[in-house]
Structure 1
Amino acid sequence: MLTGLSIRDVVLIEALDLRFEHGLGALTGETGAGKSILLDSLGLALGMRADSGLVRQGATQAVVTASFDLGGDHPALALLAENGLDGEPGEPLLIRRIVKADGGSRATVNDQPASATFLREIGARLVEIHGQHDDRGLLNARGHRALLDNFGRIDTAPVALAYRDWATAEARLQSAAAELETAARDREWLEHAVAELTALGAEDGEEESLAEERAGMQKGARLADDLTAVNAHIDGSAGGSAQLRQAARRLERMADEHPLLTEAIDALDRALIELGEAEDKLAAANDALAFDPARLDAVETRLFELRAIARKHRIDPPALPALAAELAERLARLDSGDAGIAKLEQAVKAARTAYEEAAATVGAQRELAAARLDAAVAGELAPLKLEAARFRTVVERLGETQWSASGRDRVEFEISTNPGAPFAPLVKIASGGELSRFILALKVALAEEGGAGTMIFDEIDRGVGGAVASAIGERLARLSRRAQLLVVTHSPQVAARADRHWLIAKAHDGLVTRTSVRALDPDERREEIARMLSGAEVTAEARAQATRLLTV
C-alpha cells in the first residue's frame, strides 16, 4: 500500500508531502491544475523515463520519494531479496528518484542504489496505474493466464510437477543416449582399459600401504652396516660385554683388599645390567629393521606398476579402484545400452502422458473459469455504459514447443466494442474512457485476485455522468474494500464515494505559478463536490446535492 509521496521541485510543485491510507481516495481540481504532474511524479518513483523537463524552473534537481507498507507475503519482498536489497515485513519500503536539470538521474531503494529497470519491475508489483495511455496491468496479455487461474482458483501445482518429471525423464534419456554414443565410439579403448585395470586389481589403500612398507625396508637397508658394526663392538669375545665381565671377575678376586674395590665391582655389575638392556634393544631394532631384498623388489615393482597406470589415466593411485569400477560400469551399460535406452524412452512416454493429462485437466478448468469470468464481466458492462460491448476470455492450445509448467494454454482477454465488430485485445480497440471502464469491470469481476496493493484510475469517468458515474463510484468503493484505490476524477458522484479527498489547485503570485495539493475536511469536501456539480458559481442547490451525494 502507498503510504506517502514526497515531491520536491517537479514542474509546478515546489514542495509537497502527502500521506495515504487504505480505502478510496479522490483527487479533484480544475482542468490544468496539475493532476498529471502528481501522477508523473509517482511514475518517476516507479521507473518512468527521467526527463529533465520535469525539473522545476530554477531548481537544480527534482526529487520524488514514495513510501510503501508491505505485508508479510507481499511479492515485492521476494524481488528485493533476489536483488540483494533490504526489505523486511513490517518495515516501510522507500523508493527515491532524483532527476537533475542536466538530464542525469539516479534512484535508491531503501537508501541502496537501484536501476530504473528495477524500479519498473518492483513498481509493477506495487502499483497499477490505469488510464488511456497505460499498457501494463490487465492490458498485458502475459498476465492473463495467471489472473484467470486466480479467478477460477485453479491449482496448477500438479501440472508443474508433471512438467518437471517429464523434463527430468527427457534429460536422463538424452544423457544416456549421448553417453551410449560416446561409449560406442570408445568401445575398443574401454575394453582394453577395463581388462588392464582388472588385471592390475588395485585395492583401496594399497598404494599407501606399499609405500610405507617400502620406506621401512629402505631404512633397514641403509642402517644394516652400522648396526652390524655396533653389534661387533658390544657382542663377541672381543666385544665390550666380554671385556667388562672379565674385568669384574678379576676385581672379585681383589675385593677384600680395599673397600673401594667392592664399590667398583658394584658399579661394574650395574653397567653389565645396562649393557644387557642395550643388547636387547639392539636385537629388537635388528628384528624391526630386518628386510627381505626379494620382498623389497616385489614391493617396488608393484608400486611402479600402480603409479604408471595411474599416470596413464591422469589420476592419483588411490583413485584406481574407483576408476576400475566406473569403467566397468560404463562397459556394462554399453553392453546393455539398447535395453536401458528403451526403458528410459518408456519413462519419457509415461511422464509426457501424465503431463498431458494434468494439463488437460487444468485446460478444462480454465475453460469453465473463462465462461464464468465472461458472464461476470458482462454483468458489469451495462451499468458502465458499455452495453453494446462484448467481452470474452480466449483459451487456446499452444504448440508443443510452448508448453510449460503452467500448462498448454494461452489466455487472453478480448473485447468487441460494437455489435458485429471483431474481437481484439483491449488496448488495441478501446478508447481512453472505454478502456478505463473495461478495466474497472474486469477488476470488479476478478475481485482483485492477483493485483497490486495500490490501484490508480486516471479519469476513469471521462465522458460519462449521471447513473454511469454513480455506477463507477459504487464499483470503485467496492474494490477499495480489498485494496487501496486512488482516482483522479471530474465526477462528483465518484468523488463523493471516496474515503478521503484531496484538492489539486494551481496559483500564480505574479512571478511564479505553483501547484498545491491539500486534504479536504468535511465542509471543504462538500464545497468542492458542489463546485464540481455547478461550475464556477456554487449554488445552494449544488451544495444540497453535494450533501445528498455524501450521505448515500
Structure 2
Amino acid sequence: MLKRIEIRDFAIIDQLGLDLGPGLTTLTGETGAGKSILLDALGLCLGDRTDRSMVPAEAGKSEVHGLFDVADTPRARAWLTEEALDEDDECLIRRVVQSNGRSQAWINGRPVTRHQLEQLGALLMGIHGQHAHQALMRPDTQRRTLDGFAAHPQRLEAVAELARRWRRVSAEIESLSGGSADHHDRIELLRYQLDELDDAAPSAEEMAELEREQRRLAGAGEIITACQQSLEALYDGETSAQSLIATAERELSAHGDVDARIDEVQQLLTTGQVQIDEACQALRQFADQLEMDPERLEAVETRLSRLHDLARKHQIEPEGLAEHAEALRAELDRLTSADERLVTLNAEKEKLFSDYREAAQTLSESRQAAAAALSERVDSLLGELGMAGAALIIAVDPDDQATPSEHGIDRVRFDVRTNPDQRPAPLQKVASGGELSRIGLALEVATADTAELPSLIFDEADTGIGGAVAEVVGRQLRALSAHHQVICITHLPQVAAQGMHQLQVDKRQNESGRTVTDVRPLVGDQRVHEIARMLGGLEITENTLNHAREMLDQAD
C-alpha cells in the first residue's frame, strides 16, 4: 500500500507531500489542474522511462519519493529479499531525473537500475488509464490474473516442478553428450593428454626437489670455491681468524688476574675458537662431499624442461600437473561411463515430459473453465459500467509442441469487443483510455478476492458516462477498496462521493508568476463544497450543497 508520496520540481508541481491511507481515495479538481501529473510522477517512481521535459527549466532536477507498506504484499517482500533490498515492512523508493534526462533510482537507500524499479513497481501497484504503466497490457499479467481467479496453485506448482526437473535432466544429458558430435573427440583428447601426463608422472614434491637439486648442481663450482676461501680465512691461512683469536687470547691470559673483566673476555675468545673449529669441520665435510656432476645436471634440467613444457601446454603451473591429471581422469571416467547414464537419463526425460504434458493439460482445462467464468462475470460488470454489448474474450491457446515451461503450455490473451458488431482484438488495440480503465475496473472487481496487487489507480474510469452508471462505477470502486487501496482520478461527483478520502487538485500562480499545482485533503464542509462544485459548476446554490451532502451521506 502506498503510504506517502513526495514530489519536488516535477512539471508544474513545485513541492508536494501526500499521506495516503487504505480504502478509496478520490482526486478531483478542474480540468488541466494537474491531476494526471500525479500519476506521471508515481509512474516515474515505479519505473517508467524518464522524460526530461517534465523537469522545470528553472530546476536542475526532479525528485519523487514513494513510501510503501509491504507487510501484506508477499510477492514484493520476496522480491526485495531476493535482491537484498528488504528493510522491515516498509519500502522507500526514490527517483531523481536530471535536466539532461539522466536518472538515478534507489530502493531503501540502495542504488538500483530502472529495470529493477520496474520489476518492483509491477508488484506494488496497478495503474489503469492512458498511461504507459499499464500492467493489464502484459501477457504475463493476463495469465497471472486468470490463474489467480482460477485458484489452482497446486496445479501451477505441479507443472512448474515437472518443468524444472525436465530442464535439469535435459541439461545433464547435454553435458554428458557434449551437446554435439565432438563427444568422441573429447574422449580421445583426454586419453592422449592423460597418457602424456602419466608418462611424465609429475608430482608437486618432485618439482620442488628437482629445482633445489638443479640450483645445487649448477652452482657446485662456485660453492666449492666459496668453501675453500672460507676455510682459508677461518682456519688454514697464516692470518686466519682462528690464529688471530689464539694470539689475542695468549696476550690477554697474562693479565687475567689483574682484572676479572679481562678474564671474561678471554673466556669469550676461547668459546669463539671452539665454534670456529666446529664450523670449519662442518664446512670441510660439506666441501669434500660436493662434487661436479655435469651428467646429473643435464638430466635434472631435461626433466624440469619437460615438466615446464607440459605445464605451458595445459596452461597451468608446473606444481599443479598432478592435480590437473586427476581432474582430466575424473572427466574421462564420467564421459566414458556416460553412455549408461544417458540411457537412464533419456528414459527419465521421456517420463518427465509425459508427466508434464498430463499436468499441463489439466492446468489448461482449469484455465479454460476459469476463462469462461471470468469472461461472463466481467461482461456483466461492463454492462453495469455503461459498456453494454462489450465483451472480454479470454483466449487460452495450448501449444502441444511447446518446450516445457513453468507456466504450462498455454498462451493466455485478453481480447475485447467494445461493440456487438466488432470483431474481438487485443486489449490495447481496441479500447480507448476510458474504456480500458473501465475494463480494468471490471477485471479488478471480478478478481478482487484473488488479485495480487495491493494498490490500484484508475484514471478516466468515468470518461463518457454519467448519471446512474457513474454511481455504479463509484460503488464498484468502493467495493473494490475493501480488498485493495484504490486511488481514482474523477470528474464525476457520483464517483467522488464514494471515496473514503478526497484530495483536491488546484492550479495557481506563484509569487514569480509561474503556474504550479497544489493538492490538499478535503474534510467536512470542504468536501461538500467540492462535490457541489462538481454538481453545479460556477454557481453553487443551497440546493446544490444539500444534494452534495445527500450524496456523501448515502455513500457513507
User: How high is the TM-score relative to the length of structure 1?
Assistant: 0.72
> C-alpha displacement at 1:79, in angstroms?
8.0
**Aligned position for 2:27:** 27
Residue 376 of structure 1 deviates from its aligned partner by: 4.0
SS of 1:26's equivalent in the other structure is strand
Which residue is equivalent to 1:248? none
**Could you say which residue in structure 2 is the equivalent of 1:170?**
170
Give the Å deviation of 1:437: 1.8
Residue 150 of structure 1 corresponds to 148
- How far the C-alpha of 1:492 sits from its partner, in A, is 1.9
Aligned-residue offset at 1:170: 2.7
- Alignment match of 2:67 (pick from 66, 69, 75): 69
Question: Deviation of residue 30 (structure 1)?
Answer: 4.0
> Structure 2: how far apart are the matches of 1:180 and 1:139?
41
- In the alignment, what sits opposite 1:182? 182
Contact 2:97 2:103 in 1 (8 A): yes
Cα deviation for residue 66 of structure 1 reads 3.2
TM-aligned CA distance change 1:301 to 1:525, over 3 Å: closer
1:442 is the counterpart of 2:443: yes
Give the aligned partner of residue 245 of structure 1: none
Partner of 1:374: 375
Q: Work out the CA distance in 2 between the residues paired with 1:519 and 1:186.
A: 73
8 Å Cα contact 1:448/1:479 also seen in 2: no
> Is 1:141 aligned with 2:147?
no
Match of 1:461, SS? coil
1:154–1:508: structure 2 CA closer, same or farther, 3 Å change rule?
A: same
Would the aligned equivalents of 1:42 and 1:64 in 2 still touch at CA under 8 Å?
no
Distance 1:369 1:475, change over 3 A: same
2:95 alignment counterpart:
95
Q: Which amino acid aligns with 2:134?
A: R
Aligned to 1:109: 105
In the alignment, structure 1 residue 533 sits paired with structure 2 residue 535: yes
Change (3 A) 1:154 1:322: same
Shift of 1:397: 1.6
Residue in 1 that maps onto 2:58: 60
- After superposition, the C-alpha distances for 1:174-226 in whole angstroms (9 at most, x for unaligned) are 33333884364477766554444444444452332344455566777876799
Q: Residue by residue, what CA displacement relative to the aligned partner does 1:422-444 show, whole Å, maximum 9, x if unpaired?
A: 33333333344433221111111
Matches within 5 A, 1:434-513: 434-447=435-448, 452-505=453-506
Change (3 A) 1:220 1:547: same
The separation in 2 between residues aligned to 1:276 and 1:118, in whole angstroms, is 80
Q: How far apart are 1:94 and its partner, in Å? A: 3.2
Would the alpha carbon gap of residues 105 and 119 (structure 1) be closer, same or farther in structure 2, given more than 3 Å must change? farther
- 1:537 shift after superposition: 3.6
What runs of 5+ residues in structure 1 fail to find an aligned partner?
Answer: 236-266
Are the equivalent residues in 2 in contact too, given 1:217–1:289 (CA < 8 A)? no
- Percent sequence identity over aligned pairs: 34
- Listed as ranges, the matches of 1:282-321 within 5 Å are 285=286, 303=304, 306-307=307-308, 309-310=310-311, 315-321=316-322
Distance in 1 (alpha carbons) for counterparts of 2:276 and 2:113: 88
The residue aligned with 2:405 is 404
SS in 2 for 1:70: strand
Q: Counterparts of 1:252-271 in structure 2 under 5 Å?
A: none
Q: For structure 2, which runs of at least 5 residues remain unmatched after alignment?
A: 236-266
Query: Which residue in the other structure is 2:252 paired with?
Result: none
Deviations 1:82-117 (A, max 9, x none): 999998853643334465xxxx44544359998888
Task: Report the residue type matching 1:463 in the other structure.
Answer: G
Q: Give the CA deviation at 1:141.
A: 2.8
Q: CA, structure 1 residues 209+422, in 2 after alignment: closer, same or farther (shift >3 Å)? A: same
* Residue 144 of structure 1: how far off its partner (Å): 1.0
TM-superposed deviation, 1:538: 3.2
2: distance between equivalents of 1:209 and 1:384?
90
Q: Is the 8 A contact 2:26 2:487 kept in 1?
A: yes
Corresponding residue number in structure 2 for 1:252: none
**Structure 1 partner of 2:253:** none
Mapped contact 1:28–1:504 kept (Cα < 8 A): yes
Taking the aligned partners of 2:421 and 2:148, their CA distance within structure 1 comes to 31
- Read off the aligned partner of 2:26 and give its amino acid letter: A
SS in 2 for 1:463: coil
**Per the alignment, do residues 72 and 271 of structure 1 end up closer, same or farther by CA in structure 2, a change over 3 Å counting?**
closer
User: Residue by residue, what CA displacement relative to the aligned partner does 1:37-90 show, whole Å, maximum 9, x if unpaired?
Assistant: 5555655666466374x677xx63496543311235667788889999998853
Asked if structure 1 preserves the Cα contact closer than 8 Å seen for 2:396 and 2:413, the reply is: yes
How many residues are paired up? 518
Structure 1, 181-190 or 462-471: larger mean CA deviation: 181-190
- Cα distance in 2 for partners of 1:227, 1:98 equals 78
3-state SS of paired residue (1:467)? helix
The Cα offsets for residues 287-326 of structure 1, whole Å up to 9 and x where unpaired, read as 9768999977876665555455555655544333344445
Q: CA deviation at 1:34?
A: 4.8
Larger CA deviation: 108-117 vs 540-549: 108-117
Deviates more, 1:166-175 or 1:512-521: 512-521
> TM-score, normalized by length of structure 2?
0.72
Report what 2:16 is aligned to: 17
Q: Give the aligned partner of residue 256 of structure 1.
A: none
What is the alpha-carbon distance in structure 1 between the residues aligned to residue 445 and residue 227 of structure 2?
Answer: 103
The SS at the match of 1:545 is helix
Call closer, same or farther: CA 1:317–1:501 in 2, change over 3 Å. Answer: closer
Provide the residue aligned with 1:546 in structure 2.
548
Residues 503-540 of structure 1: CA distance to partner in whole angstroms, max 9, x if unpaired?
3455689x987765443231121122233334444344
Task: Evaluate the alpha carbon distance shift between residue 522 and residue 96 of structure 1 in structure 2; reply closer, same or farther with a 3 A threshold.
Answer: farther
Structure 1 pair 167–305 and aligned structure 2 pair: CA distance change class (3 A): same
Equivalent pair of 1:9/1:62 in contact (CA under 8 Å): no
Structure 2 CA distance, aligned partners of 1:366 and 1:107? 41
Q: Which amino acid aligns with 2:105?
A: V
Q: Are 1:85 and 1:109, in contact at CA under 8 Å, matched by a contact in 2?
A: no
Distance 1:146 1:384 in 2: 24
Partner amino acid, structure 2, of 1:20? D
* Distance 1:40-1:294 versus aligned 2 partners, 3 A rule: closer
* Mean CA deviation greater in 39-48 or 524-533: 39-48
Alpha carbons of 1:307 and 1:354: their partners in 2 closer, same or farther (altered >3 Å)? same
Shift in Å, 1:479? 2.5
Question: Which residue number corresponds to residue 128 of structure 2?
Answer: 130
Task: Give the drift of 1:408.
Answer: 1.9
* Cα distance in structure 1, aligned partners of 2:553 and 2:343: 76
CA distance, structure 1, for counterparts of residue 530 and residue 337 of structure 2? 86
Q: Please tell me whether the aligned partners of residues 180 and 334 of structure 1 are also in contact (alpha carbons under 8 angstroms).
A: no
1:377-421 deviation digits (Å, cap 9, x = unpaired): 345334323453333322222464565333222112223334464
Range with bigger deviation, 69-78 or 365-374 = 69-78
Alpha carbons 2:390, 2:417 under 8 Å: kept: yes
With over 3 angstroms needed to count, the CA separation of the structure-2 counterparts of 1:14 and 1:189, relative to structure 1, is closer
Q: Secondary structure at the match of 1:551?
A: helix
The corresponding residue for 2:425 is 424
Q: Which SS does the other structure have where 2:163 is aligned?
A: helix
